Every structure is written in structure tokens, then in C-alpha cells.
Structure 1
Amino acid sequence: MTVNTDPEIRHFRTLFISDVHLGSKAAKADFLLDFLRTHEAETIFLVGDIVDGWRLKRSWYWPQDCNDVVQKLLRKARKGTRIVYIPGNHDEFLRGFPGTHFGGIEVAERMIHETADGKKYLVLHGDEFDVVVRNARLVAYLGDWAYDMAININILLAAIRRRLGMPYWSFSAWAKLQVKQAVNFIGEFQKVVAEEARRNDVDGVICGHIHHAVMEDIDGIHYVNTGDWVESCTAIVEHHDGRFELISWGHRIGAASKKVATLALPRPFPAAVEPAEAQDIQAA
């Protein structure tokens, strides 16, 4: 059951969401739906990997909450919200339709976004700067399968640790971070994406792809990564004064869900869904 920790609707100038992976069993579609119900924006950027075409090709999985997220976005578009869909590598089937509108949602390869205070940001998914995705598609598919396995292990460990009264620990996040650190992937990715922003003569860049939510300055470029809705449940919002904020929705729902479960059950509830730790969440 989704628990709404803040029923008051918040209004923003712009909202950025990426890496939802609808069609994957790991997708936190119910968390995202709850978030969309309480957050409104004049413009919403869907920064890639919203639908997970890779997994859907392997086996079809599309529960009702995936439909609910899509319907919620279409409803926002009908009510006047501008929604821009920038495809990623998992939903690359949409890359053949730049400039096309689907139910009021426009598709674009990348876009320059100007904030309320006049700064310009390059908005893209970021997979074109991932050497593995660009040059070794088979390796990318194998890595995607391995991540699925890590998520399944994570669900099992979360249930065991909860029953033992131990705090949540994300095996999948740990495993991913260990590999990425070994090859300096995250740091190199951020530098390359920041350099692309510099070549486009903009103040910053907003991307997704690596599921690592962060906002930081890299050699004078404001680098913003939206994170994901598989583990961390994070989004970037732009306030009406141009200020950016990184919101971790998983923590707010998770805290409320634990409280409800504790009251309702005589023993700890072995929830399969837990938010990732907030150590990577920063605010600008």
C-alpha cells in the first residue's frame, strides 16, 4: 500500500525524472505515482529509460501501476503541463520519432532548458557517453541481466535483515558502486558529460542513465543527475526562482510505510521495497 507522507500538493516550474524502467519488476511505479500526485510542474522532462524496452523484449511484464503512471502523465499533459520525453538506451525505440507528439507528450533527442534565472542546461539521457553501451551492446545486455539478479538478491536480503531487526542495506547499490568505483566509471562519466555541456556553451547539464543522483559543480559546469526510480526514487525540481532541489521520495514513503507496518503487524514486516541510503543525495 502506498503511503502519502505529504498530502499537500507542491508546485514547481520544472520537474526532471529518469530511469523509471516501467516493465521491470524492480520499478517503483507505485512510489512514482504517489510522487506525481503531490507534485505539479509547468514542464516535466522525462530524461530517458522511462519504459524498459530491453526487459519487455525478454518477457512481458506490465502490471496496473505501470498503466497508472502512464495515465497520470497523459492526464497532466491534457491539463496543460508540457511534457518532454528524451529517450534513453532502454527506450531507444522512441529515438526514431523526434518532434513527434504522443498524447500531448513530445519526443526530443536532447534539449536546452533555460531556468527562471536565465541559466541554460543541456538535458539528455547520457547513454551516448557510456562506452559500454555505445561500443559493446552484448556486454551492456549482460550487465543489465546482472543488475536484475542483484535486485532479486537485494529483495531477499532486505526481507531477511528486516526479520532479524537489522537496518536496510542495499546489496544491488553496493555491488554496482563497487564495480563502478573499480573502473572510475561514475567520475569519468560525469566529466565527459560536463565537457559536452561546455561544448554546447551552457551553464550545466541534466542527465540520468547511471542511477546515481547528485548535484555538483565540475570545472565550472553544474552537473545534475536525476537518479532513478528503481532504488533511490529521486527527482530534480526547479523552483520558480531557478533554484534546483533533489528530492528523495523513497525515504519519505519508506518511513511512513514502516510506521504503518509496525502498527498493523505483531512482527517486523518483510518488505521487499526499501529506499536506498541518502548519502549520495545532495542539494545545490
Structure 2
Amino acid sequence: MSKREVDIVIISDVHLGTYGCHAKELLMYLKSIKPKMLILNGDIIDIWQFSKSYFPEDHLKVIRRILKFVSDGVPVYYLTGNHDEMLRKFADFNMGGLKLLNKLIFNLDGKKAWVFHGDVFDVTMQHSKWLAKLGAIGYDTLIMINSITNWALLKMGKKKYSFSQKIKASVKEAVKFINQFEQTAAELAIEKGYSFVICGHIHHPEIREIVNNKGKVTYLNSGDWVESLTALEYNENKWSIYKYDASLCFKDEDDVLDTENLKNMLDVKGLFEKFKQEVS
């Protein structure tokens, strides 16, 4: 099976280092594509909940796969989010094809695209960070319980069920927050003259045109790799939401990476050992 060629791939909210992260599925997806540009739009590593005792090999493999893109000459942009906000003090770091930024603005077929995580619009984040962190721990616990429930459901031959998505859909305040988030991002983008505004943060994949009395913009959100398992793809002058499908992904010989090249770039395990010491 040949890899799909894609002009731009955007993923966010992977939350590596947490039990809810679907690292295996993300790895399969990353192996199935050949992007010309990869944008990691925040919350890739969950530093809030980082544990020295939990960072499985599959999570490390995702990082190695991303570095493999860099070594292959693919431009990779890591945009910081709230769960990896520790990295913001290193913004503008550049290591070959890997760039660490807080936001990204680029031209897309003659139009401007504005990419950033989106936590700047979250009032809880700005004024009650401790409450947001507490909520994140509760959310991760809910995902753990949901994973056990889904395991049992699959054993019984039944479909998976998402507690958090059901809660979000049924609680009016959650729906209202998502709508306000999208509207705020769109209004700012219109004021700045951007044609596309691309966010993450709210774990809600979306592509829609938003219009006000000052103009219009295409709002996009890449979703997440905890529940939605989605990415944004731009190819042949068109945006689309990719939804993980195991039948479209595959394992290949690249499972054994060019370790010598990667070691020359970065010792991933060594990096995480140092990182663990810093956050302990």
C-alpha cells in the first residue's frame, strides 16, 4: 500500500503522556501519509499531567515518527498549547526543519492562514489556571473509565461509547462555549484580514465558513487524538477532516527507523530522561 501524498497535515491535542492518548492509532496514521508540511497545533505532549512512570514506547514512537519527517526534509511546525505551555519560553527555536512557535501565519494559494492553539480564548485558562488543570485531571480520569467500558462493550460485540462527547453534546453550556470559541476566533481573523483561522484546544473537529458584517473566514479545528482521532488535511486546494480509519493505515518497513540519522538529530530517550528530571 502506497502512502497518501498530502500538501498540509495539521494535528493537535494528542496529549502524549496520558492514558487517554491514542498513540498507536496516531502512529499508524502518520505512517500512512507523505505530507509536504506538518503542523502540530498544541498539546502534543501533556506536560500538565506528565508522569515519570507513564510514557509508553508507543508515545515515544510518535515523537520518533515526527522526527523522521524532519530528517526526510518535511517542514514541521510545533505550535505551543496550554498543556505544553512550558515550551513557550523556547518559542522561535529552530532545529533544521523543526520550528517551535506560538503561532504560524502562512500564504495558502494567495490567501493568508492563521494557525494557533486557541487557549487564549479560554477564560478559565486566563484567570483560573488551577481550575483548568483540575478539570484536565478529571477529564483524563473520565477517559480512563471510558476506555475500560469500551473494552467491555467490544467484548460483547457492541459499539464504543464516548462519555465526554455525550456530556458535551447534552450540556448547553458546553455547546455554547464551543460556539463562542469559534465565533471569537473567526471575528479576530476577519479583522486581521485572514482567509483561514485554524485552532485546536476544544477537541471538536470542524470546518465551516463564518460570516459577519465585516467579512467572512473559514474556521477550522483539527480535533484531537483522545476521542475524535482526527486531523486536518489540505490537498488539491481543498481542506478536509481526516477521521482515523484502521483500514486506510498500515505498518511498513519504516517501523525500523533510520536510527543513525535520528540519533544524530536528537536522542529522544535521553531528552525525556532530562525532561523527567526537570518536572519532578
Q: Which runs of 5+ in 2 are unaligned?
A: 251-280
Letter of the structure 2 residue corresponding to residue 21 of structure 1: H
Q: Which runs of 5+ in 1 are unaligned?
A: 1-6, 258-284
Partner of 1:244: 239
Matches for 1:123-272 after TM superposition, within 5 Å? 123-179=115-171, 181-182=173-174, 184-219=176-211, 220-239=216-235, 241-249=236-244, 252-253=245-246
- Bigger share in strand: 2
> Helix, strand or coil for the counterpart of 1:215?
strand
Q: 1:107 aligned to 2:88?
A: no
Matches for 1:80-119 after TM superposition, within 5 Å? 80-102=73-95, 104-115=97-108, 117-119=109-111
Over the residues paired in the alignment, what is the CA RMSD in angstroms? 2.0
TM-aligned CA deviation for residue 161 of structure 1: 2.5
CA–CA separation in structure 1 for the residues paired with 2:2 and 2:144: 34
- Closer, same or farther: CA 84–201 of 1 in aligned 2, 3 Å: same
- Closer, same or farther: CA 184–199 of 1 in aligned 2, 3 Å: same
Letter of the structure 2 residue corresponding to residue 70 of structure 1: I
- Closer, same or farther: CA 103–114 of 1 in aligned 2, 3 Å: closer
TM-aligned CA deviation for residue 171 of structure 1: 1.1
TM-score normalised over the length of structure 2: 0.82
TM-aligned CA deviation for residue 177 of structure 1: 3.4
Bigger mean CA offset, 44-53 vs 132-141: 132-141
Aligned residue-pair number: 246
Check the 8 A contact 2:114/2:197 in 1, yes or no: yes
Letter of the structure 2 residue corresponding to residue 61 of structure 1: Y
Which of 22, 30, 35 is the aligned partner of 1:28?
A: 22
Q: Deviations over 1:176-199 (max 9, x none)?
A: 333464561100010011112122
Bigger mean CA offset, 194-203 vs 12-21: 194-203
Q: Deviations over 1:30-84 (max 9, x none)?
A: 111111111111111100000000010x554211111111111111111110001
TM-aligned CA deviation for residue 201 of structure 1: 1.1
CA–CA separation in structure 2 for the residues paired with 1:182 and 1:212: 11
Letter of the structure 1 residue corresponding to residue 18 of structure 2: S
CA–CA separation in structure 1 for the residues paired with 2:140 and 2:107: 36
> Helix, strand or coil for the counterpart of 1:53?
coil
